[in-house]
Chains A and B, each alone.
Chain A
Amino acid sequence: MTHSSATNLKESQIKQQAWKRYFTFNTDHKVIGIQYLVTTFIFFLIAGILSMILRGELITPPSDLVDRSLYNGLFTLHGTVMIFLWIIPSLVGLANYLIPLMIGAKDMAFPKLNAIAFWLIPIGGILLLSSFLLPSGSAQAGWWSYPPVSIQNPTGYPINGQTIWLLSIIVLGISSIMGGVNFLTTILRMRAPGMHFFRMPIFVWTVLSAQLLQLFCLPALTGAAIMLLFDLSFGTNFFNPTSGGDPVLYQHLFWFYSHPAVYVMVLPAFGVFSEVIPAFTRNPLFGYKSVAVASFGISLVSIFVWVHHMFASGTPSWMRILFMFSTMLVAIPTGVKVFAWTATVWRSKLHLDTPMLFALGGVVMFIIGGITGVMLGAVAFDLHVNNTYFVVGHFHYVVYNTITMALFAAIYFWFPKMTGRMYHEGWGKIHFWLTFIGANLTFFPMLPVGLQGMVRRISSYDPQYAGWNILASLGAFLLGMATLPFMANLVVSCLIGIQAPNNPWYATGLEWATTSPPPTENFETIPTVTLAPYSYGLPQYSTVDTTDEEAIKRHGN
């Protein structure tokens, strides 16, 4: 009696202090993971507001809402914030939360380094956004910052938006490298006994492949950013064509990282699909080993495809052909994954809870993103639609419709584990349908309007494109609104949601074997792994549990 009341007292004290942990320099990977997710979500909202201003401008053909330099600044920072401050770090945050739990470790290999890597994100982000306040305005050269545009400094201020942009990219790059070292060490050296490579969940495989790409390719961008910074601020001529420099060289260095960066983003999203789909179909993941190896295949091939961004940059024909083939080669391991998910769903008992809806929605939209990607890989087609909205539509199908949907799936799926409470299913479904309809309404019109020849990065356009643009803008506002039920649901469920069981989905991962939320040390004793992952069908993972009426109702068994 005494013992239990003492425990209760301690627990209530811990609960009172719990929320404060999320604002401190904490070294617990779970706290850091949630810090990442919340911080990057704020940046997601900011970048989303920027994009709605852009779409507001584009709802009418003339340039009337914002002036052109501000428009340039808006799309530059929209792209930069979405990529470097939402997609990449939010997936890092998710991985931070999950990887030690999934492999049965107590924490990441270097907890302090982990915390430093996180705190560099808000620093870099605030630095980047503060550039709007500069008298010369924010960076305007696009998120790719091609010279010679990016090394122009017409206003003559010693520090301009572009300088700030480069500094924050370097800061965020350092954070990513720290994360990469940490993930690689954790995954390769901290696995629980019995957790050998082919017992790792696919999410771990995808994070490992993605972080290898970060470590190998990101330094090239850092090198390029340092040289560009010197060109801009100290009068060197690396990329300045008027003094013998080579602007195309910058493109090579930039895309040597920024193409693989697409896979840094999309691979963990694939990992999420591979976790969610088996759990809600009660089927083992079809072709587990081939899906695992395909992750490595994707990251390996992706290193040799960067020139496809430069088909129109005076690239010699032999090089175009070579990179056309390597680009299309990516479709093979990617196709393996899509077929594996399809085969997992085949003849299964589907449970269409919110995470599953987002996962299926994401896979369907990825098929559109992937097919348009193969189309763009063909040199002749690429030259035709180069610099049009077709390209914008394609990468938003991948980056928003696939990766952001995967992130929503992941947040709903692991929300009970992270907070110990269930989210509200009804509001989750409303969020899904608003997002799914809104996203298609926004990004699909970009494909036909791009084929018709509307170029991107412009604030005014020919009135013949007005119809599709109105649709896309309305879709963008709907998409913006779709975020509101999501936020409301999460905040309210976090405070007053019903208590979540340890394993609400009857899933197989190690993270479900511990309590919700997990204790500081993750597991009371380090588990020994004896089973292959995704062994749905074993009695302990059955949803038919006569002792838990709640679950029976929820799963309709």
Chain B
Amino acid sequence: MTNFIDNVLGTPARDTREGKKGNLLFGVTVFLLSESMVFVSFFLTYIILRLSTKQWLPSGVLGPQLSITIIINTIVLLSSSLVIYLAERAIKKYKLVRFRLLWLTTSVMGTYFLVGTFKEWQGLDFGLSTGLVGATFYLFTGFHALHIIVGIFLQMLMLVRSFVRGNYNRGHYGVISVSLFWHFVDGIWIILFSLLYLWQAKH
């Protein structure tokens, strides 16, 4: 964090390789802060609609229920944040093999989560246009899943780049950026999970 503040307010190393990569990290952070506002608009929509509308659940529809699959899914996704952190530490020490293993594990965990989400979608007794529950549930989980897909794609990109000789010798800012993105997507999931599954108000 101190490094980050230094990069912003100190005299930036402008034309050096380090300076440019610092720019990249800064840009990614700014982008994620901005992106989080899309999710904030979704969260607020969810809260406002759920508090104000009388037509949240059509009769006979249960709505999303907390099941053991979802809990396992969530645990897998959240612990992948730890795995990606370990991968990041490995690349800092230039331990490429360990990095690739941990990095790949993160992607596999992300994919597991995705598959779990789609399986859950299949088993639900409501569709996209079923009241407001369908609209909010599918759009918000879908938008989150889209972010996971982007994250996995970026992870694959970084994995391929690690095989190019000399790519990660002096810097790993791409890896840090992707990892930041992954932490962001995980953080969003915690809020979504709380809103969609834990908040079971009476209807």
B15 x A216 contact (CB < 8 A): no
Given known contacts A189-B8, A220-B40, A249-B48, A235 and B128 CB-to-CB distance under 8 angstroms: yes
- In the bound assembly, the distance between CA atoms of A377 and B140 in angstroms comes to 36
**Residue among B31, B36, B39, B136 with the most chain A CB within 10 A?**
B31
Q: Which of A189, A215, A218, A246 has the most CB of B within 10 A?
A: A189
Q: Does residue B168 face the partner (Cβ distance < 8 Å to A)?
A: no
Report yes or no: A236 in contact with B48, Cβ–Cβ below 8 A.
no
**Hey, which chain B residues are within 8 Å of A236, CB to CB?**
128-129, 134-135, 138-139
Q: Which residues of A contact B131 (CB under 8 A)?
A: 237, 243-244
Least CB distance from B14 to A in Å reads 6
Interface residues of A, dominant DSSP: helix
Cα of A226 to Cα of B31 in the assembled complex, Å: 19
B2 CB–A CB distance under 8 Å: no
* Contact across chains for B132 and A230 when beta carbons are under 8 A apart: no
B187 within 8 A of A: no
The answer to whether B37 touches A220 (Cβ under 8 A) is yes
Tell me the bound Cα distance from A191 to B32 in angstroms. Answer: 23
Q: Mark B1-31, 1 if CB is under 8 A from A, else 0.
A: 0000001100110110001001110110011
Which of A109, A188, A235, A253 contacts B129 (CB under 8 A)?
A235
Our pick among B27, B49, B53, B55 for the contact of A182 (Cβ within 8 Å) is B27
Chain B, 80-136, CB within 8 A of any chain A CB: 128-129, 131-132, 134-136
A110 to chain B, nearest CB (A): 6
A185 close to chain B: CB less than 8 A? yes
Name the residue of chain B whose CB is nearest to the CB of A184. B30
| Chain B residues in 8 Å Cβ range of A106 | 15
A181 at the B interface (CB under 8 A): yes
What residues of chain B lie closer than 8 Å to A249, measured between beta carbons?
Answer: 45, 48-49
What is the number of contacts between chain A and chain B, taking CB atoms within 8 Å? 123
Partner of A110, one of B8, B23, B41: B23
Given A189-B22, A227-B45: A219 touches B54 (CB 8 Å cut-off): no
Taking residues whose C-beta sits less than 8 angstroms from the other chain, chain B's interface range is 35 or more
Contact with B along A100-111 (1 / 0, CB 8 A): 000001100110
How distant is B65 from chain A, measured CB to nearest CB, in Å? 21
Query: Is there contact, CB below 8 Å, between A219 and B11?
Result: no
Q: Please give, as numbers and ranges, the residues of chain A lying within 8 Å of B52 by CB-CB distance.
A: 246
* Contact A185:B23 (CB < 8 A) given known A226-B139, A249-B45: yes
Q: What sequence of 0s and 1s flags, for each residue 176-217 of chain A, a beta carbon within 8 Å of any chain B beta carbon? A: 010011101100111101000000000000000000000111
Contact (Cβ within 8 A) A238 B14 = no
Q: Would you call B56 and A244 a contact (CB within 8 A)? A: yes
State whether the Cβ of A60 lies closer than 8 Å to any Cβ in chain B. Answer: no
Q: For the complex, what is the distance from the CA of A223 to the CA of B7, rounded to whole Å?
A: 31
Per a CB cutoff under 8 Å, which of A110, A177, A182, A238 touches B135?
Answer: A238
Contact indicator A237/B15 (Cβ below 8 Å):
no
Interface residues of B in 32-48 (CB under 8 A from A): 33-42, 45, 48
B143 at the interface (CB under 8 A from A): yes
Give bound CA distance, A224 to B41, whole Å.
7
With a cutoff of 8 Å between Cβ atoms, the chain A residues found around residue B12 in the complex are 189-191
From B26, B34, B136, B143, contact of A189 by CB (8 A): B26
Residue A222 interfacial (CB < 8 Å) = yes
Interface status of A23 (Cβ within 8 A of chain B): no
Which of B12, B24, B45, B128 is packed against the most chain A CB atoms within 10 Å? Answer: B45
* Chain B contacts for A217, CB-based, 8 A: 37
Minimum CB–CB distance for A50 against chain B, Å: 30
Are A238 and B33 in touch, CB under 8 angstroms?
A: no
Q: Please name all residues of chain B whose beta carbon is closer than 8 Å to the beta carbon of A246 when the two chains form the complex.
A: 48-49, 52-53
Interface centre among B48, B135, B136 (most CB of A within 10 A): B135
* Assembled-state Cα–Cα distance A223/B144 (Å): 13
Q: Which of B33, B35, B40, B129 sits near A237, CB closer than 8 Å?
A: B129
Q: Taking the complex as formed, is A137 at the interface, i.e. its CB lies under 8 A from any CB of chain B? A: no
Q: Which of B132-183 contact A (CB under 8 A)?
A: 132, 134-136, 138-139, 143
**B37, A216: Cβ atoms closer than 8 Å:** yes
Q: Is the CB of B27 within 8 A of A219?
A: no
Query: Whole-angstrom distance between the alpha carbons of A459 and B199 in the complex?
Result: 49
Say yes or no for A234: interface residue by CB 8 A criterion: yes
**CB-based contact B14/A190 at 8 Å:** yes
A238 touches B37 (CB 8 A): no
Question: Are B134 and A193 in touch, CB under 8 angstroms?
Answer: no
Kindly list chain B residues whose C-beta atoms are within 8 Å of the C-beta of A231: 135
- Among B15, B49, B134, the one with the most A-chain Cβ atoms within 10 Å of its Cβ is B49
A245 within 8 A of B: yes
Best-surrounded residue of B14, B26, B40, B136 (most CB of chain A within 10 A): B14
Interface string of A237-253 (1 = CB under 8 A from B): 11000011110010001
Q: Are A215 and B55 in contact (CB under 8 A)?
A: no
Q: Which residues of chain A come closer than 8 Å to B135, judged between CB atoms?
A: 227, 230-231, 236-238, 245
**A315 to B45 Cα, complex, angstroms:** 17
Q: With A and B bound together, what is the CA distance between A113 and B24 in angstroms?
A: 11
Least distance between A314 CB and chain B CB atoms (Å): 13
Beyond A244-B55, A244-B131, whether A238 also contacts B45 by CB under 8 A is yes
CB B196 to nearest CB in A, in angstroms, measures: 16
Residue on B nearest A223 in the bound complex, by CB: B41
A residues within 8 A CB of B129? 234-237
Closest to A104 in B: B14
The contact of B37 among A110, A188, A219, by CB within 8 Å, is A219
| Shortest Cβ distance from residue A177 to the other chain B in the assembled complex, whole angstroms | 6
Complex contact A181–B38 (CB within 8 A): no
- Nearest to A197 among chain B residues (CB) is B9
Q: In the docked arrangement, what's the CA distance between A276 and B34, Å?
A: 32
A524 CB to closest chain B CB (Å) equals: 14
What's the Cα separation between A185 and B14 when bound, in Å? Answer: 11
Q: Which residues of A contact B37 (CB under 8 A)?
A: 215-220, 223
> A180, A185, A222 — which one has the most chain B CB atoms within 10 A of its CB?
A185
Known interface pairs A188-B8, A189-B26; 10 further A-B residue pairs with C-beta atoms within 8 A, sorted by A's residue number: A181-B31, A189-B7, A223-B40, A237-B131, A238-B45, A245-B132, A246-B52, A253-B45, A256-B41, A526-B14
Which 7 pairs between the two chains have the least Cβ-Cβ distance? A244-B55, A223-B41, A219-B37, A236-B135, A235-B129, A215-B34, A219-B38
For this complex, 23 residue pairs linking A to B, each with C-beta atoms less than 8 Å apart, are: A105-B14, A110-B23, A113-B27, A177-B34, A180-B30, A180-B34, A181-B27, A185-B26, A185-B30, A188-B8, A189-B8, A189-B26, A190-B12, A216-B34, A219-B36, A219-B37, A220-B41, A222-B38, A226-B139, A226-B143, A227-B42, A230-B128, A234-B129
Chain A interface (Cβ < 8 Å from any Cβ of B)? 105-106, 109-110, 113, 177, 180-182, 184-185, 188-191, 193, 215-220, 222-224, 226-227, 230-231, 234-238, 243-246, 249, 253, 256, 526
